[in-house]
């Protein structure tokens, strides 16, 4: 009898510990989830990410923390991470109603809306002229469906620009002309199937005529054109500066290659690592500065997602940093 009572007490003790552990787990998950929601509402994205991820570690079968992360990355326009978190959530939690809604939202965002009705509009195609005075005017051409397909801008000094648009109303090519009809420059924009800008290229022929040009190329993230991945600036004399950017959390690795023929035919190369104050911030770079011994430093401008300046620093190849 005594032995049976001991076994019963042991079982009861195990059940109490088990229930206590579950309650503790639930409380801890709720605390982390509530922290994530609070940080997200405050725009403190880095802390929100940590809190939601901690909640998922505690209970990977609860969809709410996943949804919090999906909403967070959606606010940052990071579609790659939205897809990644959604995939994990579906694997762990299954096709719940809320996750199905998020899946449908993602599919809608990644598929451009039809630009215009496929029914021809009355009064189209047509052209419209707008006069601004002093021989400055523009002419806009529309197709039969009301889409602007071309724009001609004539400036007071006799130069002019011709813009061409895609079916979604996005500029795809701009050709600039001098007053004598010589091509002065060509700009081109490239978009992915979701309508996001992924590349911008310029050719400026005004320096030495049409035989050579200043050339630039910029490439952006497929999900967010404010995240730059690559930049190239090549000058008519053959000098160039090339930038590459890789991102891991808040750390941005910046690789720069610079050819200045004044100091030889071998490019100068350097690599820097910059830590963003927030994962939602963006960077722009300027420079580099150099001498006969190589690259000295670069300038980094950190900005919030809405374009406000956050921080400006010089990063030196010796590993030091100077804020200004």
Tell me, yes or no, whether 298 lies in a domain. yes
Tell me, yes or no, whether 221 lies in a domain. no
Statement: residue 18 has pLDDT above 50: no
Q: The domain spanning residue 73 has which CATH number? A: 1.25.40.10
pLDDT of residue 154: 93
Interval 103-114 mean pLDDT = 63
Statement: residue 1 has pLDDT above 70: no
Tell me, yes or no, whether 83 lies in a domain. yes
Tell me, yes or no, whether 69 lies in a domain. yes
Residue range 275-306, pLDDT digits in tens: 998 877 889 999 999 988 899 999 999 988 66
pLDDT of residue 258: 95
> 3-state secondary structure string, the chain?
CHHHHHHHHHHHHHHHHHHHHHHHHHHHHHHHHHHHHHHHHHCCHHHHHHHHHHHHHHCCCCHHHHHHHHHHHHHCCCHHHHHHHHHHHHHHHCCCHHHHHHHHHHHHHHCCCCCCCCCCCCCCCEEEEEECCCCCEEEEEECCCCCEEEEEEECCCCCEEEEEECCCCCEEEEEEECCCCCEEEEEEEEECCCCCEEEEEEEECCCCCCCCCEEEEEEECCCCCCCEEEEEEECCCCCEEEEEEEEECCEEEEEEEEECHHHCCCCEEEEEEEECCCCCCEEEEEEEEEECCEEEEEEEEEECCCCCEEEEEEEECCCCEEEC
Query: Of the ranges 45-54, 71-80, 192-201, 245-254, which one carries the lowest mean pLDDT score?
Result: 71-80
The total domain count for the chain is 2
Indicate the residue among 87, 110, 133 that finishes a domain: 110
Indicate the residue among 66, 81, 110 that finishes a domain: 110
Is the model more confident about 144 or about 206? 144
Domain hosting residue 62, numbered range: 22-110
Tell me, yes or no, whether 8 lies in a domain. no
Tell me, yes or no, whether 286 lies in a domain. yes
Indicate the residue among 110, 132, 157 that finishes a domain: 110
Tell me, yes or no, whether 322 lies in a domain. yes
Tell me, yes or no, whether 125 lies in a domain. no
The structure's pTM equals 0.65
């Amino acid at each position: 009898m005594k032995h049976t009572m001991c076994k019963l007490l042991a079982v009861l003790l195990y059940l109490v510990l088990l229930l206590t552990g579950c309650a503790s787990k639930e409380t801890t998950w709720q605390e982390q989830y509530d922290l994530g929601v609070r940080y997200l509402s405050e725009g403190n994205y880095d802390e929100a990410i940590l809190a939601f991820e901690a909640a998922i570690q505690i209970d990977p079968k609860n969809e709410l923390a996943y949804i919090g992360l999906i909403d967070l990355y959606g606010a940052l326009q990071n579609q790659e991470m939205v897809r990644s978190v959604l995939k994990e959530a579906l694997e762990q939690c299954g096709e719940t109603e809320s996750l199905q809604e998020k899946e449908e939202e993602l599919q809608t965002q990644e598929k451009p809306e039809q630009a215009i009705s496929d029914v021809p509009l009355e009064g189209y195609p047509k052209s419209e002229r707008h006069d601004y005075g002093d021989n400055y005017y523009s002419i806009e051409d529309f197709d039969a469906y009301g889409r602007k397909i071309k724009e001609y801008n004539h400036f007071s000094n006799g130069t002019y620009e011709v813009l061409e648009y895609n079916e979604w109303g996005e500029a795809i090519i701009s050709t600039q002309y001098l007053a004598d009809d010589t091509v002065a420059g060509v700009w081109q924009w490239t978009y992915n199937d979701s309508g996001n800008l992924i590349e911008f290229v310029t050719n400026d022929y005004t320096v030495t005529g049409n035989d050579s040009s200043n050339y630039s190329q910029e490439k952006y993230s497929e999900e967010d054109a404010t995240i730059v991945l690559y930049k190239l600036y090549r000058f008519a004399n053959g000098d160039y500066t090339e930038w590459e950017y890789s991102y891991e959390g808040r750390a941005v690795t910046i690789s720069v290659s610079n050819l200045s023929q004044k100091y030889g035919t071998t490019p100068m190369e350097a690599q820097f690592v910059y830590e963003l104050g927030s994962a939602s911030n963006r960077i722009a770079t300027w420079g580099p500065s150099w001498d006969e011994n190589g690259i000295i430093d670069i300038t980094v401008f950190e900005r919030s997602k809405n374009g406000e300046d956050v921080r400006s620093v010089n990063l030196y190849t010796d590993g030091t940093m100077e804020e200004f």
